[in-house]
Amino acid sequence: MFDVRTVEAGACCEQERDSGDSAMSMTARRRRAFQRQACLLSVLAAFSLGLALGVFVPLIGISQAASKVVQGPPAEGPAREPAAVRTAHHPAHTMPHFPTIDDIRSVGEEGGPRGRYASVSFIAEEKLAGAATAAAAVDPPGSKLDAGPESVPVPSVASSIGEPMLAVPERRDARSSKWDETEDDVIREGIYWGASVERALPVGFDRRQSEGWAQYLREAEVERLEVGCGRMQNRLLVFRDGTRACARYRQNTDQIQGELFSFYLGQLLNLTNLAPSAASIIDPEARLWAAATEELAGAQWKPTKPVVITQWIGHLEPAGIPQPFRPLERHLNRYDVRNITEGLDRPAAASVRRLLLDRLGPARPEAAQRDAPPVAAATQPRPPTPEVLERLVELAQWSDLIVFDYLIANLDRVVNNLYNFQWNADIMAAPAHNLARQTDTALLVFLDNESGLLHGYRLLKKYEAYHGLLLDNLCVFRRSTVRALEALRDASVGQRLHALFERTTTAQIRDVLPPLPEKSVKILVDRIDRVLGQVQKCRETFADR
């Protein structure tokens, strides 16, 4: 006898089992469909990632390999670096370590560089990041490095700091052969500017013009004084014949000495970038000042005070810091000049595209390369284009500027930019202080050198790291400047400066304006040796072998 409830219960359980199996089957199908979709998406993602890595990473690697330099001590000898970087310059050379601002920052950290970078400290990195919107040149309280009315205005521009310099691995092709044939015309002996650059340099102001200016001031008459020429105490002089000049008046005699003896040193180095200058004494009874006694009183210039009168230079515009000296890994050597000459120093779209095609394109068979006629190599090499030559002429003048500013320890030019970088990350892209370019000749004019040789020497302990930073990165020089330095080392630079001072000033001037102190002369001698030591280090690293 069957129990109806038992039968009904069994049927119900069977129905529930069928329903459960059906639900489980649908869940499994959905899971499998989801897994198939996930697998397909994973394959597509992997393919996309692989394509991106295969295309862009090699290109990034080329750019980074060309811009990175192995960190090492600011040593006396060349430091080792990755093979990619060595190849980007020359297979036979290793590159030395070029000091950066990071070297100064790392002083005090474990393993940080010592020596001439040991006396400078930087503020925290997070403060630097928050300073991008600060004023263009913010100086700390009590700092000598003030912008001042004499400084060139600093516009707000985009930062170029850290921008890598594009370079490609060395390839022994027609381009390399062309450079080998033309290098002597652009760079000689691996470290000197070549004939084409020297010929294109602007004439500037030679010693004859400087002597003519001193003679003019002995016979000229000032008609009036006008406000101008920078700081409040300075005046623009207008002479009876319409000639104009800038007169520098200071309460402290050492700033007048610094301006005058820096000008004398420039003459001994045969630099033509300093405007003719001469010393004078404020004497209302003298012919020079007799017609402007009221203006002298209005300017509050005291009698018997010395001034430096500098010839007025027109058609000037602010001069910026060249691209090779802006990034943290700044340097200028024969291979950097080669990149400029071949147009490889700017990450232009065409260069990037060519690099990508060269890297991804099919390699030419060795036999085809061997059998290809050396047409380009046999072609007569072309001189640098006008645009390239203009850049090289600017850099040649900068090589003199770096040497000159290091010798006099000038605080008020590029050191100002380097020091203020810790507050304003854009400042290396701003115009350099107290540097101008003559628009009609492309001459760089080295203005306002009053901190040189005295005031700058007193602050060497604090700023020497910044003074040496650009010099340590410079390995291309003008041969005439190096020869002048060698002559000053072999002779007595102090005696030669004193002889110029005696010859170009009167007894009345020498009664109130002392000669260059012996302590400053000794420091100058040491700095001449330091520059010549850098030349020798560059010669050992980059000279032709």
The tens digit of pLDDT for each residue in 485-511 reads 999 998 899 999 999 999 999 999 999
DSSP code of 321?
A: P
What are residue 236's DSSP bridge partners?
A: 226, 246
Tell me, letter by letter, the H, E, C secondary structure of 496-540: HHHHHHHHHCCHHHHHHCCCCCHHHHHHHHHHHHHHHHHHHHHHH
Q: What sign does the dihedral 389-395-398-402 (CA atoms) show?
A: negative
Out of 48-57, 256-265, 496-505, least confident range? 48-57
What's the Rg (C-alpha) of the chain? 33
Topology classification of domain 207-314: Phosphorylase Kinase; domain 1 (3.30.200)
Whole-number pLDDT of residue 382? 65
Pairing between strand 306-311 and 316-320?
A: unpaired
Specify the higher pLDDT residue, 416 or 264. Answer: 264
Per-residue pLDDT of 377-395, as tens digits, reads: 334 456 789 999 999 999 9
Whole-number pLDDT of residue 181? 53
Instruction: Name the segment(s) of the chain with CATH classification 3.30.200.
Output: 207-314
- How far, in Å, CA of 388 to CA of 535, rounded? 25
Q: Which pair of tokens denotes residue 480?
A: 């005439």
> Which single residue is written with the structure tokens 């090589």?
399
The arrangement of strands across the sheet holding 235-239 comes to 222-227, 235-239, 244-249, 306-311, 277-281
Q: Tell me: pLDDT of 214 over 90.
A: yes
Q: How confident is the model at residue 35 (pLDDT cuts 50, 70, 90)?
A: confident
Cα separations in angstroms, 38 against 43, 45, 52, 523: 9, 10, 21, 74
**Residues of the chain with pLDDT > 90: what percent?**
52
Q: How confident is the model at residue 79 (pLDDT cuts 50, 70, 90)?
A: very low
**Ramachandran category for residue 245: left, alpha or beta (phi over 0 → left; psi -120 to 50 → alpha):** beta
Most confident of 102-106, 276-280, 414-418, 539-543: 276-280
Most confident of 44-58, 346-360, 516-530: 516-530
What are residue 307's DSSP bridge partners?
A: 249, 280
Measuring CA to CA, which residue among 301, 308, 263, 262 is closest to residue 284?
301
* Contact in structure between 495 and 211 (CB atoms under 8 Å): no
Whole-number pLDDT of residue 231? 85
DSSP code of 281?
A: E
Q: Which pair of tokens denotes residue 525?
A: 């001698």
Specify the higher pLDDT residue, 158 or 453. Answer: 453
pLDDT mean over 298-318: 95
Q: How confident is the model at residue 95 (pLDDT cuts 50, 70, 90)?
A: low
- How far, in Å, CA of 187 to CA of 332, rounded? 12
Residue 469: Cβ-neighbour burial (10 angstroms; 0-12, 13-18, 19+):
buried
- How far, in Å, CA of 362 to CA of 224, rounded? 75
pLDDT mean over 193-208: 95
Which pairs count as long-range contacts for 229-234, CB under 8 Å and 24+ apart, including other chains? 229/150, 230/148, 230/149, 230/150, 230/448, 231/148, 231/149, 231/150, 232/149, 233/299, 233/301, 234/150
